[in-house]
Amino acid sequence: MSSSIALHRPLHRSSLTAFRATETIKLSSRFVQLSYGCCLGNISLTNSLLRIRLRQAPSFTEFITSERVKVVAMLALALALCNADRVVMSVAIVPLSLSHGWSRSFSGIVQSSFLWGYLISPIAGGTLVDYYGGKLVMAWGVALWSLATYLTPWAAETSLWALLAMRALLGVAEGVALPCMNNMVARWFPQTERARAVGLAMAGFQLGSAIGLTLSPILMSRGGTFGPFVIFGLSGFLWVLVWISAISSTPDQNPQISKYELEYILDKRQKSFPMENSPKTTKVIPPFRRLLSKLPTWSLIVANAMHSWGFFVILSWMPIYFNTIYHVDLRQAAWFSAVPWSMMAIMGYFGGLWSDMLIQSGISVTLTRKIFQSIGFLGPGIALIGLTTAKHPSIASAWLTLAVGLKSFSHSGFLVNLQEIAPQYSGVLHGMSNTAGTFAAIVGTVGAGFFVELVGSFQGFLLLTSLLYFLATLFYILCSTGERVNFDETVSR
pLDDT digits (tens, 9 = 90+) for 129-154: 888 888 999 999 999 999 999 999 89
- Segment 408-435 shows an average pLDDT of 86
317-321, 385-389, 420-424: range with lowest mean pLDDT: 317-321
* The pLDDT value given to residue 12: 46
Terminal Cα-to-Cα distance of the chain (whole angstroms): 73
Whether 8 shows a pLDDT value over 50: the answer reads no
Q: What is the pLDDT of residues 96-110, one digit of tens each?
A: 877 777 765 677 677
The burial class, CB within 10 Å (0-12 / 13-18 / 19+), for 98 is exposed
Three-state SS for 83-110 is: HHHHHHHHHHHHHHHHHHCCCHHHHHHH
Q: Model pTM?
A: 0.71
**Between 280 and 420, residue with greater pLDDT:** 420
**Range list of H helices, 361-484:** 365-389, 393-407, 414-421, 426-455, 458-479
CA distance 77 to 79: 5
Could you count the other beta carbons within 10 Å of the beta carbon of residue 110?
Answer: 20
DSSP 11: P
* The pLDDT value given to residue 22: 53
15-24, 51-60, 118-127, 313-322: range with lowest mean pLDDT: 15-24
* The pLDDT value given to residue 41: 46
**Range list of H helices, 247-362:** 259-269, 288-291, 295-325, 330-360
Domain 70-251+284-479: CATH class, spelled out:
mainly alpha
* The pLDDT value given to residue 405: 92
SS3 486: coil
Dihedral (C-alpha) 471, 472, 476, 477: value to the nearest 10 degrees? -30
Average pLDDT score over the chain = 80
CA distance 1 to 4: 5
Whether 287 shows a pLDDT value over 50: the answer reads yes
- Segment 199-216 shows an average pLDDT of 85
Could you count the other beta carbons within 10 Å of the beta carbon of residue 332?
Answer: 15
pLDDT tier, 160 (very low <50, low <70, confident <90, very high otherwise): confident
CA distance 430 to 487: 15
8 Å CB contact between 128 and 176: yes
8 Å CB contact between 427 and 293: no
